[in-house]
Structure formats: C-alpha cells, structure tokens
Structure 1
Amino acid sequence: MFYKIKEFFRMLGEIKYMVPVLRYEFPKPDSHNSVAHMFQDSEQKFGDRPFVYFEDETWTYSETNKAANSFARYLVESGIKHGDRVVLFMENRPYYAISLLALNKIGAIAVLINTSLTGDPL
C-alpha cells in the first residue's frame, strides 16, 4: 500500500512536465518550423555534401531529400494525410531517416516501434 501512495505522489510531481506535452500542437503542413522544412533548408545549403554514411553507402543531402519527397508522394497517393499516425517498424538504416522526413513533410505522425522488442512488450 505504501508503495502505491509513494508512486501516486511521484506521478503528481511529474504532471508539470506532462501538461506541455499534452498541449503540444503539431506544426501545420505549411509551417516552416518542421523538421522537414529545416532539412530542406539544409539541403539547399549542403546539397552534394554527405548526409549519411551507412556501411558502404553515402547519401548526400540532395539524394536524401529527393528520396523523402518521392516516399512522401507515395504516402499521399496511398491515402496517408496530415495527422495520420503511421507505424515505423524497421532497423536503423538510411531509409529510416528518409521515412521520418517523408512523414514529416506531409504532417503525418511517426509511431516508432523498437525492433529489439519481442513478445508481450511488442
């Protein structure tokens, strides 16, 4: 019983951190405060410079942005729209960053799943 009371008061102390998260409003698709818009600005500055090194591959800012735009188009054509939640269940690879950027470009919310989870936690 004491543990439950102690846990209750611990949670009360954390409410001040939870309220701003609950009130957070996602940027509108035309807002220039999104990760996708910031990446687009970086792509204009650093176009042909390396953005990702992975195994024997190198992706430039331009290549990454082009791939993200292409995937974003595919998502929209598939019916994904602003505010939709999309599960990402994939290993840590360049396509992960591309998928996150693509979802951000259309205002969809990436629901990230840890690939290390198995059984009940998954």
Structure 2
Amino acid sequence: MDGHFKLQAEQMRAVEDGSLDTAVGEHPDRLLTADLLVLSFPMWWFSLPAILKGTASGLLNSLRQTGGALAVALFGSLLAGPGGGFSLDGMRIGLLAVGALLPATTALSRILLPRA
C-alpha cells in the first residue's frame, strides 16, 4: 500500500475484487428496497450533530458568498459605462433594480414563510 490508508479507495477495491463482506454488501440493497428510511441521531443541546451542522453551515455560507460575488459583479457591470468608466445611467438602472427587487422579495417572504 502506498502512502496513507484511504477508506473509500479500499472500499471500491473490495467491491471490484468481490472481497467485500456479504453483510456489508447487503445494506445498499436493503436501503434501495426500503419503503421508508428513518434517520435517527442524538441531539446535542437541541441541535444537530456537529457533522451535519458543519455541512449545512458550509453549504449556506458558500451560497451566501456566491450570491454576494454575483451581486458585486452585476452592479459593477451596470456602473461601468461602455468605455469602462463610471456611468450615471448604470447607477440609475442598478438602483431601479434594487428598488424593484426589495419589495418583491419582501412580499414573497410574507407569503411563503409561515407566521408564528
């Protein structure tokens, strides 16, 4: 074996070689034929386990950063005029876009989000 032990590579090798334990090999079939799958895990301080919380946090954070980068790129392109300089018309278009999107997202959140 070269270097460090790699669990996924060893599992793939065992599947390809046919040396995977039969008890382990039965589990995917059980999952695929199940009508219902219940995932049970302990709660830590009325929250998710750290690994699930970290995954959700990483996903939401990357989406937030992507949205911010797209917004900066969009408004930067609106502000830049045809010659690459500042454009007052581009600023007006950007402000009109924000002025239209803000009430629209506010109305959608009031409609779609449940009220307590």
TM over 0.5: no
Question: Larger % of helix: which?
Answer: 2
- Over alpha carbons, which structure has the higher Rg? 2
Structure of higher RCO (CA pairs closer than 8 Å, 6+ residues apart):
1
The structure in which a higher percent of residues are strand is 1
TM-score between both structures, scaled by the size of structure 1: 0.27
Q: TM-score, normalised to structure 2's length?
A: 0.28
